[in-house]
Structure 1
Amino acid sequence: MNRFMKSINRVSLIQQIIVGLIIGIITALYFPSFAKELSLLGVLFVGALKGIAPVLVFFLVINAVSKHRSGQKTGMASVITLYLLGTFLSAALAVLVSWAFPTTLHLVTGAADAKAPEGIAEVMITLLKNVVDNPVHALMSANYIGILGWALLFGGALRKASMTTKEIMESLAKAVTTVVTWIIRFAPLGIMGLVAESIATNGIEALVGYLQLLILLLGSMLFVALVINPLLVFLYIRRNPYPLVCKCLRESAIYAFFTRSSAANIPVNLDLAKRLKLNPDMYSVSIPLGATINMGGAAITITIMTLAAANTLNITIDVPTAILLSIIATIGACGASGVAGGSLLLIPLACSLFGISNDIAMQVVGVGFIIGVLQDSTETALNSSTDILFTATADYAKRGYHEDWN
């Protein structure tokens, strides 16, 4: 058994994941009944990531803040600037794409039953309430805004604690990080189960009727990942950004595509940040924060879906309104939950800008759930890989170019 495990470990994790993907696809196409049984592997993998992520964030942030020295710069201002700028540019691109290739919808009945927020104020109030959530409840419900808030307070309170106490916190953080690496080793099996179940259950039939809309959404997200994000990285580090961009896409986006949850991908990004030798004081805060406020893919979804609804109803969009929509999509995306389909419930908020009724807006949400198999997966892959990309960019810009990207 030891010899077998050693031979497996000689193969890179990405290559193992590719093999898992191939097996999952073949199983779904030729053995669909067995593919649904394989879904248990995916459920266990995603569940383990979601379960460990809140604990990991909590202890990493406490450990980083408790050891932080006064006057030490972490570069968080640069990360947040990149997050907000990237999200706004994504929304602005979505407006331009919608103008260039106007799309209409075949509105459906039986839209999502969930209640959408009624305005920006409600989104912001919810975020503020999440900050002061009960810390135990925040951990249990994976409320990362609350987890960050309480971890920062506990970490600040421990800054004057004895070295023994700080060493205990560091040991706990290292122990949880080790558990994360164990879980990630099961990624090939987990992704095999996820892709097998997804293809066997959904197929592609439901996507054909919304092919043009899907092309706009996915094309915009790819443009952000391969053009806009690299441009922002280049402006900060003044070097070829693509080695770093490709590494983040390869080692973060693949996981996020199949888990469809920025929250579940937090441990993956934290592990990658450690291997990139980034500053723990920065990434232990910026990665979980990015899973909440860095939502370029969500901004694209909100904007394109809203403008498709406006085109369907023959509503004319002028330039000032388009700019306002981009701002609303940016703010709204920051309030989108880091779970599958989290951005869709922000669509009615953007639709209200054009006087589109909530009934019609929720039908648009229903369309979003139909195409969510690909849309939400790609959106999450963009969101989550950008978290680690912008964190690395800010860190490298602060302390100089780093050679070890491959």
Structure 2
Amino acid sequence: MKKLMFALVLATAVSTVNAQTMNEKTTENDYNKWSIELAGGVNKTQRPMSANYFTSTPSPYTVDLGARYMFNNKFGLKADFGYNSFEGKNNSLSFDTKYYRADLQAVANLGRIMNFETWTNTIGLLGHAGFGLAQLEDQNSAIKDRMGNFIAGVTGQIKLSNRVALTGDFTTILNASQDVAFDAASAYSGRGFGGILFNGTVGVTVYLGKNTKHADWVTLTDKEVVSLKDRVTAIEDKMVDADNDGVADYLDTEKNTAAGALVNTKGQSIDKNNNGVDDTTEAFILKNYAANGGNNSGVYNNDLIKSLINGGYVATYFDFNKSKPTNVSTEGTDFILTYLRNNPSASVDIIGHADELGRSAYNDKLSNARATTIKNTLVKANIAASRLNVIAAGEDTSVNKDSDAARKLVRRVTFMVK
């Protein structure tokens, strides 16, 4: 029994401490915290009882009135007052005593702690434990026995509305320093928690406050859980890989890599010869088209090659403020030349681009000069000028103008086969 007492006292203390710490973790407070509780029912005295004295099982009457305050949706405190009537029944010797008590108890919302909300929104469970003072009075004599008590119990709840809940409670009361038996017919010398009394009641809880719900029925969000979810969401967002090249977008400097292309750790297509065509695409084209020298075996792939050219995978690049291609990017022009030779009926738009540095009017002229340079190269290679159309696209604003690496990608000429 002593071990049980210690465990219950420890549970009460922990509940009170947790009521303070848990309140700091919650992120919502738009719920009611006060409630009034009224219940009535039956009781059963266990000991001490005098020989030949006993009550019926169970026996009326028990009444309990309490006021409760919840620190958050899991822990709170309540003060309550109780009344018990004990009378001899059946073959018992006659007696009539009354028991009055007042207690302060810690309350734990076991329904929220055990996440009842995952399967029900109308059934709850409270646990309560605490200490108080009591007095036993004999109605047939002047005996008034004052004592301390420890009280603990569980309360089932059924929510009828946001303002009212039906309750059913089972409580155990242990009396300390009880001097007479519950029937008041004999003395009792127990100094510790010797008296035992059981109460069973049914009642109602009325919720007070201006908010819609009471703490008994709300599910609060823990700050640490919210923070963790935000971090996971941020990580998931960062790991988005729109072009499916295996490099997350926040690290990807080339966000429209062709499907299946080999890329480096920055998401850039691997282009060892720096001709503006990634090696995977170039190898496919050379294998299925260019290497055929224009014979009919490669005609089957013309639609694919045309789409690659029109998609910007074949390009010629320029240094800053220059209209002459870089030495390593002339293979883009050579590729278009091979295509036009193998497709005599095809024509092509030669589209010049510039970065955003400098005046727009100047960049328009520069983009035109770059496209004209490529046209002249193709004309010198015996491609009819009538098949070549120069377009000055001016500034390309699709990249970050403050990035030198990004600006290199837009100083180019692309092609549109028609």
* Structure whose CA Rg is larger: 2
Q: TM-score range by the shorter chain?
A: under 0.3
TM-score normalised according to structure 1 size: 0.23
TM-score normalised according to structure 2 size: 0.23
| More contact order relative to length (CA 8 Å, sep ≥ 6) | 1
User: More strand per residue: 1 or 2?
Assistant: 2
